[in-house]
Amino acid sequence: MVESGPLWLTYCYRNTVTAGSVRLSVAKMGEIIMNLSAPTQPVFLIALVVGVLAIIGLFAVIPFVTANATWLLIAAFVLLVLGNLLNNL
């Protein structure tokens, strides 16, 4: 049992698992605490450009972008998520 507060506030730095460039700390009750990092500037700018193009493609006709605007938005979001999870991306 954890006496120090809610589970999402409990941190345990003794048990650390490293898988590739993702480093996870495991708390006492099996909770996984992720060490996130900011995406690099090129990753952020690429995701920003792809996301803005997808939004513009919803309102204006751009040959490839208009047909795939939803998938481009999802790809931009996934790129940002990967940039936060992976330290070297």
Domain of 21 in residue numbering reads as 1-35
CA separation, residue 52 to residues 37, 65, 72, 78 (Å) = 23, 11, 9, 15
Helix (H, G, I), strand (E, B) or coil at 79: helix
Co-location of 21 and 52 in the same domain = no
How much is the pLDDT for 86?
87
Count of structural domains within the chain: 2
* pTM of the entire predicted model: 0.62
What pLDDT digit, counting tens, does each position of 22-66 carry? 565 555 566 666 778 889 999 999 999 999 999 999 999 999 999
How much is the pLDDT for 21?
57
- DSSP collapsed to 3 states, 42-68: HHHHHHHHHHHHHHHHHHCCCHHHHHC
Which of the two residues, 89 and 43, has the higher pLDDT score? 43
How much is the pLDDT for 14?
47
Co-location of 48 and 19 in the same domain = no
